[in-house]
Amino acid sequence: MSPIRRPRLSAAAYAEGVLAGDRLLLSRAITLAESSLPDDQALARQVMDQILPHTGRSIRLGITGVPGVGKSTFIERFGTYITGLGKKVAVLAIDPSSQRSGGSILGDKTRMEQLSHNPLAYIRPSAAGSALGGVAARTREALLLCEAAGFEVILIETVGVGQSETAVRNMVDFFLLLMLAGAGDELQGIKKGIMEMADGLAITKADGANKGAARQAQAAYKNALHLFPPTASGWIPPVLTCSAQEGNGLEAIWEMIEKYERHSRQKGYFEHQRRQQNLAWMHSALKDQLKQYFYSHPAVAGQRQRLEEEVKEGQTGALGAAHQLFSLFRESMRD
């Protein structure tokens, strides 16, 4: 039995609800933005146009790390610390999707039980789907909707570190990399490209018998970062230690983020980076629309299944099949 679909509201109703801080309408607006239905997408664009002038006033933080580093635990304690300062925090938690079923567990509200009941916090889990970069396809829209709803700090928890785990860097102001100590050769624990993009590193689980290993890892990463080329902002990424279990080091991490914001604003880099991110968002949206248009075009749709079967059976090469589909598309555009 299919779920009952709520009727669409007007763009103005969604926008007014979001701007009033109505969490139900905020969630519905994010769901609207995440929908792949053409009518929903058209309505979502109208909503985004109306809330856009009320965005841009938050600090946007991306948080990533190797599996087992404790991202959700860290975010719950860190988010609780920030709300303790009187700030409103939104957490956009990205869950990995099954490549077989397309499903996602979406269990971050369960893992962040304390924060989910905090009146100053809002947690929105979303499935990564087929989007690369450890983020969901509509994370940017969700981020702006949360800003318009009055959230002052936006935390984006990514799926985990991987080769494509870099898209989040194109939508946040500060990129925090969480690392483990005592898990072998620390410098082999993460790819160089991710470290080069990090604005700060935090060695997690620095408590109990693991404190010594955390300090050793901290020293190793500090030395490694000195070998990297200077950042565009002139900022030298600090390496800190923390314990979400004991609550240690959270204040220092928040102070690091505030210091970075002051530094990057003084250098003019903060606004420059946001402008470049807006351009990246435009090009990303354009690529998505071109892809959807291409695959839904009758000339392509009519031959796609046949060519896919031929490729699977080894009767046609992948590159040749792609060329055929593109040629059909190009010829149809000339008619």
Q: What is the pLDDT of residues 188-214, one digit of tens each?
A: 445 567 788 899 999 999 999 999 999
Q: Does the domain at residues 1-54 carry the CATH identifier 1.20.5.170?
A: yes
Read off the tokens for 167. 């898209």
Q: Where in the chain is the domain with CATH 1.20.5.170?
A: 1-54
Alpha-carbon separation of residue 47 from 9, 170, 319 (angstroms)? 10, 22, 40
Digit-coded pLDDT (tens) for 67-78: 788 899 999 999
Q: Where in the chain is the domain with CATH 3.40.50.300?
A: 56-267
Alpha carbon distance 234, 223 (integer Å): 17
pTM to 2 decimals?
0.87
Q: Does the domain at residues 56-267 carry the CATH identifier 3.40.50.300?
A: yes
Q: Phi first, then psi: what are they for 299, rounded to 5°?
A: -65, -35
Alpha carbon distance 181, 249 (integer Å): 15
Alpha-carbon separation of residue 316 from 153, 308, 326 (angstroms)? 51, 9, 15
Q: Is the pLDDT of residue 136 over 70?
A: no
Q: Phi first, then psi: what are they for 177, rounded to 5°?
A: -105, 120
Q: pLDDT band at residue 102, thresholds of 50, 70 and 90? A: very low
Which pLDDT value is given to residue 300? 94
Is residue 177 classed as helix, strand or coil in its secondary structure?
strand
In 3D space, the residue among 61, 98, 34 whose CA is nearest the CA of residue 288 turns out to be 34
Digit-coded pLDDT (tens) for 9-41: 999 999 999 999 999 999 999 999 999 888 999
